[in-house]
Amino acid sequence: MKRFSNLEPGQVRLVYWNNVPTPYMDERFACIKNLLGDNFAAAYTLKGAKSHGWKIGSPRYQVIHSGATAPSLANDATLILKILKYRPTHVVALHAERVAPLLALLGRFLGFYVIFWTVTTFDTWIKRSKAKEWAKRFVFRLGSGVVSPGADGIAYARKYHRQVAAAVVPHSIDLVHFASPQMPGFRRAARRAILTNNQANGTIFLYVGRIIRDKGLFEMASGFSRSSAAGSGTLVFVGDGKDQEELRQYCSNMGIDTRFDRFQQRADLLDFYALADYFVFPTLGDPYGLVIDEALQGGCPVLTSPAAGELRGRISDGFNGRIAEGTGSDAWRDLFDAITKSPIPRHNKSLLPRPIAPLDYATRLLSALQEVGPLAGPSSASETER
């Protein structure tokens, strides 16, 4: 198989194709840039996302994008052409991109590795179809392999291709930044800054994220209202979303003490993580839930539904949180009753079992590329037919 890149054997030129810019990917990309120099570029499907309001500084690495603000096949094709002009040895892309099969075919034909970032998905937010299921079998066979934040993502890929080459690259967060809520003094200051006019009382249960039905917020609120925690606790919601007013009214009708705050930039989130006695993540289906890691790093125990990816190894029942038996209202009632009877305390240290910093992520990613797509680049048929 011929080599597409003009680099010498043993060198790598990487393009990482992500859907939109995010703070955590910006941190990781900056670290990859430090390791690869000018042989790294980030590619974005869109310039931004309407559902998020993150403020991100000017990138410290090369960025490739189609200039589009709305998804379309034409824009994706334009982006692929720009990626090809970069002449990469490796491209990391989401397996769910509509043009993933085309990208993988081009990699095989032109001589560069296409490795798919793969996460588990849930029926609650993905519409399954026979065509999509067949396409995934095709995509995972065409690509060079997969990388995933954990075992759930790899198991998902191997449902479609049992022999797919795979490696784990755990998610990272800014460990120093999100460690601030561990400190008692920081927590006291946060309570003074936020809890004006008694806007939250008793045990504080914090949710951070989009206020939409798919996040299981109505089921969680219903369970809370029927639990022993409701008499001495407050639900605090931080975020924006199309169902916010409906949720506010729903909680009011059930007599739940609540507080709603708008979307917060990461620097402002620290006060809320410090404020919480528990972080709640009631999702009906989420591939990971990075906010879980952020809360745990700040010493806050997490209550989560089982419909989040890679929970094994992150949540240790009774130590740093609890996993509900299901996603429905009754499961949440039982979970709130359980922690009322046997509380899980906050800690003045990280509760995250395996903290991963952005530089760790970058190092592990390059190591993973060697496992699923050798850094020397395609050089023989046996390598590319794995």
- Please state the rounded mean pLDDT for residues 160-183: 95
256 exposure class (CB count in 10 Å sphere: 0-12, 13-18, 19+): middle
- The pairing of beta strand 166-168 with beta strand 203-208: unpaired
User: What pLDDT digit, counting tens, does each position of 237-269 carry?
Assistant: 999 999 999 999 999 999 999 999 999 999 899
| pLDDT exceeds 70 at position 379 | no
Domains 14-172+356-384 and 175-341 share a fold: yes
| SS3 label, residue 385 | coil
CA 297/CA 284 separation, integer angstroms:
23
CATH architecture of 14-172+356-384: 3-Layer(aba) Sandwich (3.40)
The pLDDT assigned to 30 comes to: 97
CATH number of the structural domain 175-341: 3.40.50.2000
Q: Confidence band (pLDDT; 50, 70, 90) for 376?
A: very low
Token pair of 40 as six digits = 């790294």
What backbone phi and psi angles, to 5 degrees, belong to 235? -90, 125
| pLDDT exceeds 50 at position 382 | no
| pLDDT exceeds 70 at position 67 | yes
User: What pLDDT digit, counting tens, does each position of 206-237 carry?
Assistant: 999 999 999 999 999 999 999 999 988 999 99
User: Whole-number mean pLDDT of the chain?
Assistant: 89
**Residue ranges per structural domain of the chain:** 14-172+356-384, 175-341
User: What pLDDT digit, counting tens, does each position of 173-195 carry?
Assistant: 999 999 999 998 898 888 877 87
The pLDDT assigned to 385 comes to: 32
Q: Pick from 147, 122, 50, 65: which is nearest to 307 by CA?
A: 122
- Please state the rounded mean pLDDT for residues 108-136: 87
